[in-house]
Amino acid sequence: MKYTTYNGDRPNLDWTPPTKTTYKNMEKTKLIKDAPHQKYFSEDGTQLAGGSTICKIGDDPAGLLYWAWDLGRQGKDFRKERGTAANIGTIAHFMIECMLNEQVADLSDFDQADIDKALVCYSKFLDWWNEQSLKVVKTEIQLVNELYKYGGTIDLIAISENGEYILLDFKTSKKISESYWRQLAGYAELWNYNNLGCKIVNHCIVRIGKEEEGDFEAVWRDDLSGYWETFKAQVKVWWAIKNEKPVKVKKEKKK
């Protein structure tokens, strides 16, 4: 699978989030554990980097190094802890996606302990979502920007009461880092490039903490122009690193 492009059709404004829907009438969708990461390709078949990779170029790794060291001090394997955290975040994302698309999440590949923690995240998101006046346009949109040569998967495009297109990204981290806004700026341009006439006018990062009940925030920003300039520079750096090694030429064997 390469990528899919949203066809630009206007959303159905009669859609409402499911509340008392009978689950037996809803489509069941399975989340596959350890599924391969999404790959992005340009029209000529060149593999591209995703926005979540590009936005972290140049980030200070000190926080991540301390986290790994502290887990080691506690006798925990940081690889296992990272995997558990990733599973919880993936499950929570999937639960939210299924709710927005009126589907039932099949999580049979995952441990119940991880599902229970993800349910905490999902519950917090649902409480927030039910207070919003937003209509779903599309979820999990895989796009490529042929001009700047990168790809990405958008969590959610929604439309407000006054017809404005909103880009939302879901995070299950402990804080909102600056790289997230660069990622969102890149995603906004992904959408705008592929959907002329439906330009994004506002952006929201919905951070859902995995542990504490009250650990939740939704931060809105309408102007990400500065982050977009940085993201464009990061794209150039990514390609420069990719192309810095000379092409290996096979030597012909002497007869």
Structure token digits, residue 126: 């649902």
- Domain CATH code at residue 225: 3.40.1350.10
Q: Among residues of the chain, what percentage have pLDDT more than 90? A: 50
The count of domains in the chain is: 1
- Least reliable range by pLDDT among 10-19, 20-29, 32-41, 234-243: 10-19
Question: Is 225 a member of any domain?
Answer: yes
Q: How far apart are CA 104 and CA 94, in angstroms?
A: 10
Backbone angles phi, psi at 111, to 5 degrees: -70, 145
Give the residue numbers spanning the domain of 192: 39-242
Residues 83-140: pLDDT tens digits?
445 678 888 989 999 999 988 888 888 888 888 888 989 999 999 999 999 999 999 9
Produce one character per residue of 128-165: b if its CB has 16 or more CB atoms within 10 Å, e if not. Answer: ebeebebbbbbbebbbbbeebbbbbbbbbbbbeeeeeb
Question: Is 1 a member of any domain?
Answer: no
Question: Is 57 a member of any domain?
Answer: yes
Residues 31-59: pLDDT tens digits?
877 777 789 999 999 999 999 999 988 76
Query: Is the CB of residue 150 less than 8 Å from the CB of residue 144?
Result: yes
Question: Is 132 a member of any domain?
Answer: yes
Q: Tell me the CB-side half-sphere exposure of residue 129, using CA atoms within 13 A.
A: 23
